[in-house]
Amino acid sequence: MKKLDHGTYTGERALFALEDTEIINATFEDGESPLKESKNVIVRTSTFKWKYPLWYTTNALVENTLLEETARSGIWYAKNITMNNCNIIAPKTFRRSSYITLNNCALPNALETMWGCDHIQMKNITAKGDYFGLNSSDIEIEGFFLDGNYCFDGAKNIVIRNSTLNSKDSFWNSENVTVYDSVINGEYLAWNSKNITFVNCKITSHQGLCYINGLRMINCELIDSDLCFEYCEKIDAEIVSHVDSIKNPYSGKIVVESVGELILEDKFINKEKTKILVKNHGKI
């Protein structure tokens, strides 16, 4: 493998279609698409300062590298990208890309990031920005801290562990989602979704968990949460906390420590299809 050390690159497509090369201590100044169409490249301790640095790239390892804010829309239409210990300040990174691995990375400006991507693995990631993970699929995450609304809208086949999501409208229109040992704070959680599972999670949500087909909750807390489960079907929920209010679940079983208000309107539900057990008071 060739090596390029301590280079400064300017101009459009500075290293266009580069192959089988390790780049060390490089600075990519102004000039779009410096590594477009590259293959089998390693980038270490470098800085990208301008747009579209890794479009259509295949087989790239990027370590200890900075994508400045001006390196926006940085990694689109790429395949087999691994990034370790990187600071990705640029927004709109990762679009329509496959087989993405991120370890120990920070994304402080993650607006509209990771859209339409598949086969994603992330570990020990912090991100801030709305609309993270739109329409992406086959995602495995551990140790994720997100501060941004509308995450994972339309996403499928997601497993999240030991994470914190401060996100309104998270998991809307999503399918096949399992979240373990995590904290989720945000209104209107997981509307219009299918096959959603929460295990050992602490959730805070106004009017959350509605319009879901197939909701499973194991040993979860619903703190400061009201109007939950409206129009949900196939519920199997074990809530180990007080719930402010439950409204019009379509079908299934809900076990809860206590309920502030139970709203069951005959014109909207069939009470024979739903069983609600309040542990301190027996069956309702």
Taking only the tens place, the pLDDT of each residue in 205-235 is 999 999 999 999 999 999 999 999 999 999 9
Would 31 be classed as within a structural domain?
yes
Q: What is the pTM of this model?
A: 0.94
Residues 6+ apart with CB under 8 A from 280: 257, 258
CA angle, 146 then 149 then 150, to 5°: 110
Structurally, the chain folds into a number of domains equal to 1
Q: Are 116 and 137 in contact (CB under 8 A)?
A: no
Would 200 be classed as within a structural domain?
no
Would 11 be classed as within a structural domain?
yes
Would 135 be classed as within a structural domain?
no
CA 168 – CA 60 distance, rounded (Å): 34
Alpha helices, DSSP H, located in the chain: none
CATH of the domain at 45: 2.160.20.80
Nearest Cα neighbor of 35 from 50, 45, 25 is: 50
Domain limits at 11?
Answer: 1-90
Would 64 be classed as within a structural domain?
yes
- Model confidence over 102-161: pLDDT tens digits? 999 999 999 999 999 999 999 999 999 999 999 999 999 999 999 999 999 999 999 999
What end-to-end distance do the CA atoms of the chain give, in Å? 70
